[in-house]
Amino acid sequence: DELVYSATLGDWRTHNGADYAAPAGESVYPAKAGKVDSVTEDALWGYVVEITDKNGVTWRYCGLTDTEVKAGDSVTTATAIGKAGSVPAEASGEAHLHLECIKDGAYLDPEGLL
């Protein structure tokens, strides 16, 4: 709920996830096993893969390239879902993966779920 300044977008906004350093082109694996809900491209978040785990938490991986899964796929923590790319909304920072966790419409802290 806290506002942070976005150097890329030049405004203050909430940051509803956690950022993890990830060199461009490095394979990305899900933190939890689950089912792929969607694979989309977003102007602010790049390619986004959403996976729902057995506890009903949706894990949203933002800033991917070369996605390797599709909606309906079951994945484990050993399944590559894509490669680290860039997050257009956070392009002024270092290369990283933006991860959000959502349950029942509320954002959760990914760090607390890992």
The fold of 17-113 is Glucose Permease (Domain IIA) (2.70.70)
C-beta separation of 73 from 35 below 8 A: yes
Average pLDDT over residues 85-93: 76
Judge whether residue 39 has pLDDT over 60: yes
| pLDDT tens-place string over residues 63-87 | 999 999 999 999 999 999 999 988 8
Residue 6 confidence (pLDDT) above 60:
no
What DSSP assignment string belongs to 3-71?
EEEETTTTEEEE--SEEEE--TT-EE--SS-EEEEEEEEETTTEEEEEEE-TTSPEEEEEEEES----T
Instruction: State the pTM of this model.
Output: 0.84
Question: What is the percent of the chain with per-residue pLDDT over 70, rounded to a whole number?
Answer: 83
Q: Is the pLDDT of residue 14 over 70?
A: no
Q: Per-residue pLDDT for 17 more than 90?
A: no
